[in-house]
């Protein structure tokens, strides 16, 4: 089941075949793999070589994706595959994203099996995470459809580096997303991620016009993307193009992969970034990977009350109705709220879906 045909590619006059899934537009000779490693030219077409294969499954709190306004407190069945279409030098999941060992994708599961497992394990959603689902979109879409048939939602955690046609097809199957906005400079994107900021901003604007609930995360790296001016420009852009209600998460970097010489992000940097974003007019700004109760609280824009207080990924207090209105003033909180808050807590539970 691992190798399947794909749709988004075309032949070039010089005999190569171009994959059209992401702006990298890899042009491949027979047998060559793309930058992401999991898409390959085989028998004159582009195939996905990791359909139905995973690096393992875990149940996480949805807040860990991070999504703070989507089925709060609920458990999400999370998995990734191998490879990535970005080349981030600071990758925090590089053992997966840079994996060249497809055979280490030990867990195999088809869409039906996964959807049944999510239901059996009491998960409200399934998340394509750890590496970018853009590169295994055919598998992710089939899993999302099988889950939808059972009332389970699909979540994509992605860098948003995708071409328009596959993007449109992919997000028709997805209910919620967290998009990594890695910085707000083309220089950073070019030098540190080997990608382009403009394409990611295009994805964010595209999502604004869909029904997909999405939140944005920026991993702050000392002296690389944490300057006041850059943060102000980022927040102004988000406000102007996505509106004040898009949740923004600032999370802390830890030295990893090819950036082990850079120190971890000081908590004060996250608080400073949050102040800048709030001052810019964004309403829901969170800090992550640090102990910061203020930075993890959702305040009601209607009455200013602390509507949801969190400690890391755990709910400390919750004052929203089952359909997401402020219990104090009735303000309709932006997001997806369907029933009582979940009680999964902060646990991370590795599971077998077989």
Among 17, 36, 123, 290, binds ligand SF4 (CB under 6 A): 36
Considering the complex, state which of residue 36 and residue 91 has its C-beta at the smaller distance from ligand SF4: 36
Considering the complex, state which of residue 27 and residue 271 has its C-beta at the smaller distance from ligand SF4: 27
Considering the complex, state which of residue 130 and residue 337 has its C-beta at the smaller distance from ligand SF4: 130
Among 34, 61, 73, 75, binds ligand SF4 (CB under 6 A): 34
Residue 244 · residue 213 · CB < 8 Å: no
Among 22, 152, 207, 252, binds ligand SF4 (CB under 6 A): 22
Rg (CA), the chain: 20
266: number of CA atoms within 13 Å, CB side? 6
The reply to whether 335 sits near ligand SF4 by the rule CB under 6 A is: no
Considering the complex, state which of residue 19 and residue 109 has its C-beta at the smaller distance from ligand SF4: 19
Among 76, 77, 82, 135, binds ligand SF4 (CB under 6 A): 135
The reply to whether 85 sits near ligand SF4 by the rule CB under 6 A is: yes
**DSSP classification of residue 273:** H
Long-range residue pairs from 227-236, CB within 8 A, at least 24 positions apart, any chain: 228/272, 228/276, 230/183, 230/184, 230/185, 231/184, 231/273, 231/276, 231/277, 232/276, 232/280, 233/184, 234/181, 234/184, 235/276, 235/277, 235/280, 235/281, 235/282, 236/280
Matching residue, tokens 């608080």: 271
* Exposure class string for 198-218: b at 16+ Cβ within 10 A, else e: ebbbbbbebbeeeebbbbbbb
The C-alpha atoms of residue 273 and residue 276 are separated, in whole angstroms, by 5
The reply to whether 200 sits near ligand SF4 by the rule CB under 6 A is: no
Structure-token pair, residue 330: 């009735």
Site for ligand SF4 (CB under 6 A): how many residues? 12
* Exposure class string for 326-346: b at 16+ Cβ within 10 A, else e: beeeebebbbbbeeebbebee
* Closest residue to ligand SF4: CB criterion: 34
The reply to whether 39 sits near ligand SF4 by the rule CB under 6 A is: yes
Among 25, 32, 294, 343, binds ligand SF4 (CB under 6 A): 25
Binding mask 297-326 for ligand SF4 (x = CB under 6 A): ------------------------------
Considering the complex, state which of residue 68 and residue 85 has its C-beta at the smaller distance from ligand SF4: 85
The reply to whether 35 sits near ligand SF4 by the rule CB under 6 A is: yes
Q: How far is the CB of 290 from ligand SF4 (least distance, A)?
A: 33
The reply to whether 133 sits near ligand SF4 by the rule CB under 6 A is: no
Binding site for ligand SF4 (CB under 6 A): 19, 21-22, 24-26, 34-36, 39, 85, 135
């Amino acid at each position: 089941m691992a190798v399947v045909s794909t749709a988004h590619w075309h032949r070039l006059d010089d005999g190569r075949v171009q994959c059209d899934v992401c702006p990298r537009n890899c042009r491949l000779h027979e047998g060559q793999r793309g930058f992401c490693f999991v898409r390959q030219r085989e028998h004159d077409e582009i195939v996905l070589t990791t359909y139905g294969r995973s690096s393992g499954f875990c149940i996480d709190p949805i807040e860990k994706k991070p999504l703070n306004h989507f089925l709060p407190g609920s458990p999400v069945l999370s998995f990734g595959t191998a490879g990535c279409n970005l080349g981030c030098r600071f990758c925090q999941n590089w053992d997966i994203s840079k994996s060249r060992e497809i055979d280490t994708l030990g867990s195999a599961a088809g869409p039906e099996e996964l959807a049944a497992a999510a239901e059996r394990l009491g998960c409200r959603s399934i998340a394509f995470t750890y590496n970018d689902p853009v590169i295994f979109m055919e598998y992710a879409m089939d899993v999302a459809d099988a889950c939808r048939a059972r009332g389970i939602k699909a979540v994509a955690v992605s860098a948003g580096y995708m071409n328009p046609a596959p993007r449109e097809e992919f997000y028709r199957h997805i209910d919620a997303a967290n998009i990594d906005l890695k910085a707000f400079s083309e220089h950073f994107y070019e030098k540190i991620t080997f990608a382009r900021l403009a394409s990611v901003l295009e994805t964010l604007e595209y999502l604004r016009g869909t029904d997909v609930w999405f939140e944005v995360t920026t991993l702050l790296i000392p002296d690389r993307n944490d300057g006041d001016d850059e943060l102000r420009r980022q927040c102004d852009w988000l406000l102007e193009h996505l509106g004040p209600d898009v949740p923004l998460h600032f999370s802390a970097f830890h030295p990893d992969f090819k950036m082990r010489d850079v120190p971890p992000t000081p908590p004060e940097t996250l608080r400073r970034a949050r102040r800048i974003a709030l001052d810019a007019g964004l309403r829901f700004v969170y800090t992550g990977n640090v102990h910061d109760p203020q930075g993890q609280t959702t305040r009601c824009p209607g009455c200013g009350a602390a509507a949801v207080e969190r400690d890391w990924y755990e709910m400390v207090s919750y004052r929203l109705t089952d359909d997401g209105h402020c219990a104090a003033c009735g303000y309709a909180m932006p997001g997806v709220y369907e029933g009582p808050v979940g009680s999964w807590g902060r646990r991370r539970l590795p599971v077998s879906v077989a």
